[in-house]
Homo-oligomer: A and B are copies of this chain.
Amino acid sequence: MTERQEIILKLIVDEYVKTAEPIGSKALADDLNVSSATIRNEMSILEDLGYIEKTHTSSGRVPSEKGYRYYIENILKNLDEETNGFFEFDEIFDRDVARDEIIKEAINLLSEATNCTAISLGPNAYHSKVKKIQLVPITSHQALILVITNFGYVESKQISISQEMDTDELIKVIDLLNEMLVDTPISKVSEKLHYEIQHSDIKELLKYRETIVDSFIKAFSKFARSGYYLTGSSNMLYQPEFDDIQKLREFITTIDNNEIFRIVDQDSDGISVKIGSENKVTAMSDCTVITSSYDTLEGEKGSISLVGPTRMDYRKVIPLLKYIARHIAKLYEEE
């Protein structure tokens, strides 16, 4: 691709992102001080190369998925990323409130600033360790099991206490569980619990307390889903891409069914951009999903994602997403 072709591709993407209308040769002629015929020739080449396409035989051009890819990987790279100018976000990160709240607000603002759907996933408690297990009596025959982790996650589960269990025994069970499970990663609890019941000498004590053990396992499993937050799906529905009612319905259905989970690329490191058909979910075939992952010092993993039409303002969105992910990661490093 010649330099001029690259410039033309850039102009097409930039303009199309703004207007959502196909770009004709005439519009670019003014910008480049050449005639529209010259642009037409260049466009024809760009089309042969697969970077742009027509919506019909006599329309202007729109970027193809390959065109967006090239734009992101070759053109944006050479531009200075604007990492300042995000002061609305700085304000959020400076606030002295709980991490969860900060993330929520950042995600809210992110979705508002981009008109895309923003998703935050994790770091969830799945990788943290048991700090304390506690039993709190509620009534004479009801109690609450509390599980608290070293990162401050809490889950609870109500249990019924039948007549035959006496309080001393219950306390003994809790003490034993604490002894056994403190410092165990949440992800290993179930396994360890089952193993110990089979093999150690507390087996006797726990064996016929199956309900209690079950309740514990249920309380633990609640941790896995924590840290999921999605917002702003309504913002992007007003984009012209969703003028097609069938697409709109499909998109909402996908979100409603939590299928968006399947879309977020949790495995990659750093930033991942999935354009259009690169997403496996069909309802997302006109969308781009950008995911920025981060690790905490403790080895936890989290990510924030942005879902929007392929025609999104990558130049603004990518640096912004990186910036926010960096700051969220920092929140987890501070302690």
Contact = CB atoms under 8 A, between A and B. Distances in A.
Contacts of A232: 256
18 contacts: A96-B160, A98-B157, A98-B158, A138-B148, A138-B150, A141-B335, A142-B335, A146-B148, A146-B154, A152-B158, A154-B156, A234-B249, A234-B252, A234-B253, A234-B255, A234-B256, A237-B252, A252-B252
Interface string A201-234: 0000000000000000010000000000001111
Contacts of A165: none
Contacts of A80: none
Given A144-B152, A238-B249, 11 more contacts: A138-B148, A142-B152, A146-B154, A152-B158, A154-B154, A154-B156, A160-B335, A233-B256, A237-B249, A242-B245, A252-B252
A95 to B, nearest CB: 13
B152 A138 contact: yes
User: Which of A150, A151, A234: most chain B CB closer than 10 A?
Assistant: A234
A132 B136 contact: yes
A252 B233 contact: yes
Nearest to A244: B245
A139 interface: yes
Contacts of A144: 148, 152, 154
A131 interface: yes
Nearest to A101: B218
A132 B138 CA distance: 9
Closest 6 CB pairs of A and B: A234-B256, A234-B253, A154-B156, A152-B158, A138-B152, A144-B152
Contacts of A200: none
A90 B256 CA distance: 25
A71 to B, nearest CB: 29
A248 interface: yes
A120 to B, nearest CB: 16
Interface in A126-165: 131-132, 136, 138-139, 141-142, 144, 146, 148, 150-152, 154, 156-158, 160
A253 B156 CA distance: 33
